[in-house]
C-alpha cells in the first residue's frame, strides 16, 4: 500500500496515471450534471415559496460546496507538502487555488442572481453565506497573489502553504463570525437548512449535481496538476524524453 | 416543460448558462496551461539542446 | 568552551529582542507616530465625506474607528521584518539557539506595544469627535486592546511571508485583510451593540479567545514563514 | 572517532544552476576549512547552507554525529556567523548592539571594554552604527565573535573592507581560536596566512 502511494507520488507515474484517469472522471461527471440539470430544471417539483427561482440552487449549492472542497484540498495538500516535503502535493495545492476561485465566483454570482427576485436586490449583506463566500474569494486571491509574487517555485510552494494553513484555521472562524454578525439583524438566508424535509424529487437532482461537479472538479484538478508537474519537472530526463518523443 | 420558469426564466437560465461558461472556461484554462508549459519545454530543448 | 549557557534562554531572548525594538522605536519616533496620525486622518475622512450630522456620526463611529485602526495596523506591519531582513539581523536571528518562534513573538510584542497600544490610548480622543459617550469609549478601548493583539500576531505572519518581495505592501494587505475580518466584525459590532444598549459579553469573549488562539499558533507560522522568506 | 562537523555528498542548487555536487568534508577541533573560488562560485551559498538558511538539494551535515536538520537548535548553540551584511541596527550604538547579541547566544564572559580595545574600536563605543565605516563595522562583527563562547566560527569574506592591520588581526584572532580548540570555516578569495591544520575546498 505504502509502496503504491510512493509510486503514485513519483511525477512520471502520476503524469501517466492521471491521463488514464481523466475520462473516468469526465464521463460520470458530465452524465451526472446532464441528469441533474434536466431533472433540476424540469422534473423537480416547484418550491411553494420561491417558485421556479429555487432551481438556481442546482448550480449554486454545488459551486458553494466546491469552493469549500477546493480550499480544503489546497490546505491539506499544502500541509502534506510542507511537512513531508512531497513536491506533488504542492503541485496539487497550486492547481486547486484557481479552480476554487472560479467556483467561489460562480457561487457568488448565482447567489446574487437568486437574490434579485427573492430580496429585490442584487446583493444582500445580511446573508451570511454570500458574505462568507466573498471573503473566501479574497482568501483565494491572496493565496494566488502570494504565489505569483515569488519567482522561485519551491519558495512559492512553501510560503503559500503557510498561508493556506493559516487560512484553513481561519475559515471556520470567518464563517462563525459572519453568521453571528448577520444574526444581529435577522437577515434572509438563501437556503433553508431543512435537509430531511426536502422532497426527494428535489433532492436527488441536487445530489447528482453535487457529485457531478465534484467529478468535474477532480478532472480539472488532475489536468492542472499534470501541467504543474510538467513545469516543475521541466529539467528532468523523463520530461525531455516525453517532449522529444512528442508524447502528451 | 415550462421554459419561462414561472416568470423567473431570465434568472434561472442565466445561472445555468453562467455555470456552463465557468466550467468551459476552467477546462479551457487548464488545457491552455498544459499546452503553454509543453511548448515552453519544447522551445527550451530546441534552444539549449536536450542535455 | 561550553556550547550551552544558562543565561541564554527563551524568555531572555523574547525580552531582549522586544527591548531592542522598543529602543529602536524610541530613536525613531516617526515610525510610531505616523500610523497614529494616519489613524486620526482616516477617521477624519468619514465625517468630511458623510456630512456633519451628529446622529449619523454616532451611528457610524464604532465602525469608522475600527476600520481606521485596522488600516493603521496594516501600515505599520509592513516594516515589521523589513529592516532586519535588509541589514542582516534576520540572518543572525535565524542562526541563534533561541527558537525563532520566540524571537518572532518578541518582535510582535514590541510591534504591539508601539502600534497597537498607542491606538488604544489615542482612540478615546478620536471617539469624542464621533459623539461617543464615555461609557461606550471604555468598551471601544477594550475591544481595540484585544483586537490589536490578534492583529499584530496575525499580521506578523503576513509580514514574514511578504518580507523581501517587491510590491510587498499591497500584497500584505491582500493577505491579511480577509483573515482579519472576524476581528473587525466582532470588534466593531460589539462597540455598536454597547452604544445601542445591548449585551456585549459574547463579542468580548470571542475577541479574547481569538487573541489566545493567534497567540498560540501565529509565532510558529511566522517563524516558518521567516525561514522560507529569508532563503 | 567521528568528526565534530562532517558533511557528506552535499549538492546545492541556486535557482536553475547546480553550484556543486557530492561535496564532502570533515572538521575537528583546531582545524580551519578554507573555501576558495572566484566570485559567483557559491561560497556564500555554501556558507548559508551550512548555517541552515538554504537547503541542500542532497546530502546532510552532521554536528557531533547528529544530523543538523533534526537538531538545529543545538547546532546553532555552537556557532557564530560573520557574514557580508553585518547584522547590526544602524540606529543603535555599538554597545547596545552587542548587548542585544548577548541574548542570542552563549557569552564567553570576556570584558566588553577589553575586547573593544583589542579590536581598536573602544573609542567608537557610543556612536550609532550608521556613522561607522564599513571596516569598523566589520570589527564590531569580530567583537561579536570574541564575546561569544562557541566552538564553530563561520566567516564569510572576513577580510573585505579591512586594511592590512585589520587583516592581520582577523588572522591572529582566528589562529587563537583554533589554538583554543575551536573550529573555523572561512570563505575568502585572498591569501590567508593561518598556520596549523588547514583544509581547502576550491569551488569552481
Q: Are D42 and D12 in contact (CB under 8 A)?
A: yes
Helix-helix angle C201-229:C100-111, to 10 degrees:
130
Number of domains in chain B: 1
In sequence order, the β-bridge partners of residue D8 are: D60
In sequence order, the β-bridge partners of residue D35 are: D187, D201
- With cell 451628529, the residue in question is C54
Q: Tell if the CB–CB gap between A51 and B6 is shorter than 8 Å.
A: yes
Could you tell me which residues come within 8 angstroms of residue D48 by beta carbon, excluding any fewer than 6 positions away? Answer: C91, D54
Which positions in chain A touch C178 (Cβ < 8 Å)? Answer: 135, 138-139, 142, 167, 174
Q: Mark whether D15 and D44 lie in a shared domain.
A: yes
The mean pLDDT of chain C is: 91
Look at residue B9 and tell me if it is in a domain.
Answer: no
Q: Mark whether D58 and D155 lie in a shared domain.
A: yes
Q: Mark whether D161 and D104 lie in a shared domain.
A: no
Residues in C 55-84 with any Cβ partner in D closer than 8 A = 83
Percent residues over pLDDT 90 in chain D:
37
Q: Which chains touch C (3 or more CB pairs under 8 A)?
A: A, D
Q: Mark whether D138 and D186 lie in a shared domain.
A: no
Domain ranges of chain C: 10-229
pTM, two decimals, is: 0.91
Task: Note down the domain range covering D191.
Answer: 1-78+151-204
Q: Chain B residue closest to A247 (CA)?
A: B38
Query: Where are the alpha helices (H) located in C51-133, listed in sequence order?
Result: 54-77, 82-87, 89-94, 100-111, 117-129
Phi, psi dihedral angles at A245 (to 5 degrees): -85, 0
Q: What is the pLDDT of residue C99?
A: 92
Q: Tell if the CB–CB gap between D96 and C23 is shorter than 8 Å.
A: yes
Which positions in chain C touch A167 (Cβ < 8 Å)? Answer: 178-179
Rounded to an integer, the average pLDDT of D133-147 is 92
Number of domains in chain D: 2
Percent residues over pLDDT 70 in chain A:
91
Give the distance from residue A149's alpha carbon to the nearest chain C alpha carbon, in angstroms. 7
> How far from D48 is each of C141, D81, D143, D155, D187, CA to CA, in Å?
45, 10, 21, 11, 11
Q: Which chains touch B (3 or more CB pairs under 8 A)?
A: A
| pLDDT tens, residue by residue, A66-123 | 999 999 999 999 999 999 888 899 999 999 999 999 999 999 999 999 888 888 888 8
Q: What grid cell was written down for D157?
A: 569574506
Task: Note down the domain range covering B28.
Answer: 19-51
Indicate whether C197 pLDDT > 50: yes
Could you tell me which residues come within 8 angstroms of residue D69 by beta carbon, excluding any fewer than 6 positions away? Answer: D52, D60, D61
Q: What is the pLDDT of residue A2?
A: 67
User: Residue D157 belongs to a domain with what CATH number?
Assistant: 3.40.50.300
Nearest to A51 among B8, B27, B38 (CB): B8
- With cell 529569508, the residue in question is C230
Rounded to an integer, the average pLDDT of A3-10 is 72
Q: What is the pLDDT of residue A185?
A: 52
Q: Mark whether D189 and D202 lie in a shared domain.
A: yes
Q: What is the pLDDT of residue A202?
A: 82
Q: Are C135 and C197 in contact (CB under 8 A)?
A: no
Percent residues over pLDDT 70 in chain C:
97
Q: Which residue has the higher pLDDT, C201 or C222?
A: C222
The mean pLDDT of chain A is: 87
Q: Mark whether D71 and D157 lie in a shared domain.
A: yes
Q: What is the pLDDT of residue D177?
A: 92
**Any CB–CB contact under 8 A between D57 and chain C?**
no
- Last residue in a domain, options D127, D148, D169: D148
ipTM: 0.90
| pLDDT tens, residue by residue, A179-226 | 888 776 544 444 555 444 567 788 889 999 999 999 999 999 999 999
Q: Tell if the CB–CB gap between C91 and D102 is shorter than 8 Å.
A: no
**DSSP one-letter string for C190-223:** HHHHHHTT---HHHHHHHHHHHHHHHHHHHHHHH
| pLDDT tens, residue by residue, D157-195 | 888 888 889 999 999 999 999 999 899 999 987 777 777
Look at residue B32 and tell me if it is in a domain.
Answer: yes
Domain ranges of chain A: 20-190+212-230
Which positions in chain A touch C206 (Cβ < 8 Å)? Answer: 177, 180
Q: What is the pLDDT of residue A87?
A: 87
pLDDT band at C152 (very low <50, low <70, confident <90, very high): very high
Look at residue B45 and tell me if it is in a domain.
Answer: yes
The mean pLDDT of chain D is: 88
Q: What is the C-alpha separation between B27 and B21, in angstroms, rounded?
A: 10
Q: What is the pLDDT of residue D22?
A: 87
Q: What is the pLDDT of residue B1?
A: 61
Which positions in chain C touch D50 (Cβ < 8 Å)? Answer: none
3-state SS string for chain A: CHHHHHHHHCHHHHHHHHHHHHHHHHHHHHHHHHHHHHHHHHHCCCECCCEHHHHHHHHHHHHHHHHHHHHHHHHHHHHHHHHHCCHHHHHHHHHHHHHHHHHHHHHHHHHHHHHHHHHCCCCCCCCHHHHHHHHHHHHHHHHHHHHHHCCCHHHHHHHHHHHHHHHHHHHHHHHHHHHHHHHCCCCCCCCCCCCCCCCHHHHHHHHHHHHHHHHHHHHHHHHHHHHHHHHHCCCCHHHHHHHHCCCC
Indicate whether B25 pLDDT > 90: yes
Q: Chain C residue closest to D52 (CA)?
A: C95
**Any CB–CB contact under 8 A between A173 and chain C?**
yes
Indicate whether C4 pLDDT > 60: no
Q: What is the C-alpha separation between C32 and C121, in angstroms, rounded?
A: 13
Amino acid at each position: 500500500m505504502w509502496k503504491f502511494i510512493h509510486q503514485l507520488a513519483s511525477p512520471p507515474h502520476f503524469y501517466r496515471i492521471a491521463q488514464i484517469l481523466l475520462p473516468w472522471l469526465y464521463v460520470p461527471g458530465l452524465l451526472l450534471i446532464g441528469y441533474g440539470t434536466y431533472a433540476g430544471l424540469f422534473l423537480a417539483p416547484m418550491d411553494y415559496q420561491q417558485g421556479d427561482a429555487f432551481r438556481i440552487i442546482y448550480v449554486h449549492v454545488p459551486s458553494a460546496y466546491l469552493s469549500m472542497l477546493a480550499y480544503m484540498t489546497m490546505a491539506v495538500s499544502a500541509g502534506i507538502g510542507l511537512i513531508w516535503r512531497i513536491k506533488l502535493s504542492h503541485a496539487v495545492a497550486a492547481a486547486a487555488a484557481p479552480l476554487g476561485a472560479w467556483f467561489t465566483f460562480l457561487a457568488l454570482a448565482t447567489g446574487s442572481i437568486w437574490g434579485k427576485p427573492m430580496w429585490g436586490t442584487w446583493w444582500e449583506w445580511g446573508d451570511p453565506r454570500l458574505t462568507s463566500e466573498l471573503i473566501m474569494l479574497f482568501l483565494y486571491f491572496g493565496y494566488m497573489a502570494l504565489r505569483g509574487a515569488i519567482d522561485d517555485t519551491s519558495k512559492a510552494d512553501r510560503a503559500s502553504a503557510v498561508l493556506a494553513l493559516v487560512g484553513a484555521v481561519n475559515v471556520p472562524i470567518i464563517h462563525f463570525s459572519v453568521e453571528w454578525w448577520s444574526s444581529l439583524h435577522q437577515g434572509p438566508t438563501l437556503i433553508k437548512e431543512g435537509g430531511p424535509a426536502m422532497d426527494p424529487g428535489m433532492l436527488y437532482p441536487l445530489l447528482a449535481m453535487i457529485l457531478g461537479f465534484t467529478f468535474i472538479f477532480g478532472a480539472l484538478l488532475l489536468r492542472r496538476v499534470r501541467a504543474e508537474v510538467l513545469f516543475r519537472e521541466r529539467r528532468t530526463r523523463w520530461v525531455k524524453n516525453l517532449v522529444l518523443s512528442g508524447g502528451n | 416543460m415550462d421554459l419561462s420558469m414561472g416568470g423567473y426564466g431570465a434568472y434561472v437560465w442565466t445561472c445555468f448558462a453562467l455555470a456552463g461558461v465557468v466550467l468551459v472556461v476552467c477546462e479551457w484554462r487548464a488545457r491552455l496551461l498544459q499546452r503553454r508549459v509543453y511548448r515552453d519545454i519544447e522551445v527550451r530543448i530546441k534552444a539549449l539542446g536536450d542535455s | 568552551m561550553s556550547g550551552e549557557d544558562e543565561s541564554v534562554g527563551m524568555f531572555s531572548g523574547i525580552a531582549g529582542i522586544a527591548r531592542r525594538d522598543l529602543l529602536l522605536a524610541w530613536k525613531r519616533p516617526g515610525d510610531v507616530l505616523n500610523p497614529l496620525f494616519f489613524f486620526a486622518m482616516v477617521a477624519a475622512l468619514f465625517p468630511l465625506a458623510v456630512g456633519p450630522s451628529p446622529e449619523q456620526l454616532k451611528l457610524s463611529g464604532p465602525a469608522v474607528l475600527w476600520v481606521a485602526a485596522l488600516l493603521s495596523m496594516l501600515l505599520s506591519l509592513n516594516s515589521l521584518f523589513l529592516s532586519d531582513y535588509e541589514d542582516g539581523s534576520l540572518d543572525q536571528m535565524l542562526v541563534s539557539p533561541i527558537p525563532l518562534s520566540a524571537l518572532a513573538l518578541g518582535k510582535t510584542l514590541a510591534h504591539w506595544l508601539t502600534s497597537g497600544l498607542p491606538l488604544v490610548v489615542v482612540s478615546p480622543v478620536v471617539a469624542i469627535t464621533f459623539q461617543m459617550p464615555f461609557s461606550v469609549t471604555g468598551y471601544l478601548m477594550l475591544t481595540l486592546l484585544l483586537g490589536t493583539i490578534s492583529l499584530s500576531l496575525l499580521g506578523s505572519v503576513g509580514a514574514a511571508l511578504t518580507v523581501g518581495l517587491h510590491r510587498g505592501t499591497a500584497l500584505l494587505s491582500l493577505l491579511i485583510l480577509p483573515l482579519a475580518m472576524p476581528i473587525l466584525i466582532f470588534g466593531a459590532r460589539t462597540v455598536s451593540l454597547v452604544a445601542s444598549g445591548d449585551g456585549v459579553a459574547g463579542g468580548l469573549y470571542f475577541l479574547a479567545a481569538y487573541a489566545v488562539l493567534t497567540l498560540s499558533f501565529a509565532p510558529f507560522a511566522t517563524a516558518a514563514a521567516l525561514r522560507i522568506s529569508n532563503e | 572517532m567521528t568528526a565534530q562537523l562532517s558533511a557528506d555528498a552535499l549538492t546545492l542548487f541556486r535557482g536553475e544552476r547546480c553550484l556543486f555536487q557530492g561535496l564532502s568534508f570533515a572538521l575537528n577541533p583546531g582545524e580551519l576549512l578554507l573555501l576558495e573560488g572566484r566570485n559567483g562560485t557559491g561560497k556564500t551559498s555554501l556558507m548559508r547552507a551550512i548555517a541552515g538558511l538554504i537547503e541542500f538539494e542532497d546530502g546532510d551535515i552532521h554536528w557531533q554525529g547528529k544530523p543538523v536538520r533534526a537538531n538545529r537548535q543545538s547546532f546553532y548553540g555552537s556557532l557564530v556567523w560573520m557574514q557580508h551584511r553585518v547584522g547590526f541596527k544602524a540606529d543603535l550604538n555599538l554597545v547596545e548592539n552587542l548587548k542585544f547579541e548577548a541574548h542570542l547566544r552563549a557569552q564567553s564572559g570576556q570584558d566588553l571594554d577589553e575586547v573593544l580595545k583589542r579590536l581598536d574600536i573602544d573609542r567608537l563605543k557610543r556612536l550609532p552604527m550608521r556613522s561607522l565605516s564599513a571596516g569598523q563595522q566589520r570589527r564590531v562583527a569580530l567583537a561579536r565573535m570574541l564575546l561569544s563562547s562557541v566552538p564553530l566560527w563561520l566567516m564569510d569574506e572576513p577580510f573585505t573592507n579591512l586594511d592590512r592591520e585589520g587583516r592581520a588581526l582577523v588572522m591572529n584572532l582566528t589562529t587563537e581560536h583554533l589554538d583554543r580548540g575551536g573550529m573555523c570555516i572561512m570563505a575568502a578569495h585572498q591569501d590567508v596566512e593561518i598556520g596549523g591544520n588547514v583544509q581547502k575546498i576550491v569551488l569552481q
